[in-house]
Copies of this chain bind each other. A is one copy, B any other.
Amino acid sequence: MIHLNDINLAYKKVKGFAHVTPLLSSSRINRIIGAEIYFKAENFQKVGAFKFRGAINALSIIKESSDIKEVVTHSSGNHAQALALASKILGLKAYIVMPENSPEVKINAVKEYGGEIIFCKPTLQAREDSAQKVIEQTGAEFIHPYNNYRIIAGQGTCALEALSQINFTPDYVIAPVGGGGLLSGTAIAVKETNKNIRVFGAEPKNADDAYKSFKAGYIIPQTNPNTIADGLRTSLGDKTFNIITNYVDDILLCSEKNIINAMSLIYESLKIVIEPSAAVPLAGIIENNEHFKEKKIIVILSGGNIDIKNFNWHAE
């Protein structure tokens, strides 16, 4: 287990490398929702997502405390880019196992950051086998995208930073939940700072494994997620499940329609680019609007990595 102290230590490491991201608000969104919302804009973080915080923390600790020079992970998402860039910055080598059908934009991003890609068949088994092979051949250290305390402590620095950017006590802090790294870190950072602040996760109805696991009291893996929020299709790990069970107050669900509505609101009012997963907390607020009337809420916008080809632009 980790605690606030670990997140404070992580922040000392993260601060030297990561951006301090702005906390944004929009009077139009506040008027429409009837609440006071502060958006922690991790889309402006390095690699365009909060994942950089966890990666740079984990690799900094490895560099300081061991002779390990190589790391490996399997991911086609933001964690892959984050690990590649953090490795480059710290002079380590990163192997990234990616499914051979990964979108080109994600492959190119990892390459740009200097990661060495190992392609595998697009199954979880093939990913794990390929990563295992890299570990055996090179001695590289495996860095799990979320079920890793150093990663979780790094992600927790985002909420810590947000709390330092305001001079009032929020009623809620809400983060999206996929594998649970961000939500776990957020929950420890917030609850051990002030247990009266309520911490919610937010998840698409169509990928509601965290909600179901939270309610059941044991891990129910995700099967067949069908959501636009592609960063939230993963299942909880045992470490993140345990933290979420102990620290999180509740998990909000939302429809695909409200994810699109929330994205539209953020694009049109805040004028920033976010990925669909980042819209899920606001979608959860929209879906449970009564609950949040006149409350002060910090929403963590997890990232802004979109493939512009997913926009079908057309003139009026």
Partner of A43, one of B105, B271, B306: B271
Docked Cα-Cα span, A191 to B28, in Å, equals 38
> How many protomers of this protein does the assembly include?
2
Interface string of A88-132 (1 = CB under 8 A from B): 000000000000000101000000100000000000000000000
Do B306 and A268 touch (CB < 8 A)? yes
Residues of B within 8 A of A314 (CB): 228, 310, 312
Size bin of chain A's contact surface: 20 to 34
Q: Which 9 A-B pairs have the closest CB atoms?
A: A312-B312, A271-B304, A264-B308, A228-B315, A271-B273, A43-B271, A311-B311, A267-B273, A267-B308
Q: Which residues of B contact A276 (CB under 8 A)?
A: 313, 315
Q: How many angstroms between the C-alpha atoms of A272 and B304 in the bound complex?
A: 9
With A228-B315, A264-B308 known, 7 other A-B pairs at CB within 8 A are A105-B268, A230-B316, A263-B313, A268-B308, A310-B315, A311-B313, A312-B312
Q: Which residues of A are interface residues toward B (Cβ below 8 A)? A: 28, 43-44, 48, 103, 105, 112, 227-228, 230, 260, 263-264, 267-268, 270-274, 276, 304, 306-308, 310-316
Determine the residue in chain B with the shortest Cβ distance to A106.
B316
- List, sorted by A's number, 21 A–B pairs whose CB atoms are closer than 8 Å: A44-B271, A103-B316, A228-B313, A228-B315, A230-B316, A267-B273, A267-B308, A268-B273, A268-B306, A268-B308, A271-B272, A272-B272, A273-B273, A276-B313, A276-B315, A307-B316, A310-B313, A310-B314, A310-B316, A312-B312, A312-B314
Do A28 and B112 contact each other (CB < 8 Å), given the known contacts A260-B313, A312-B311? Answer: yes
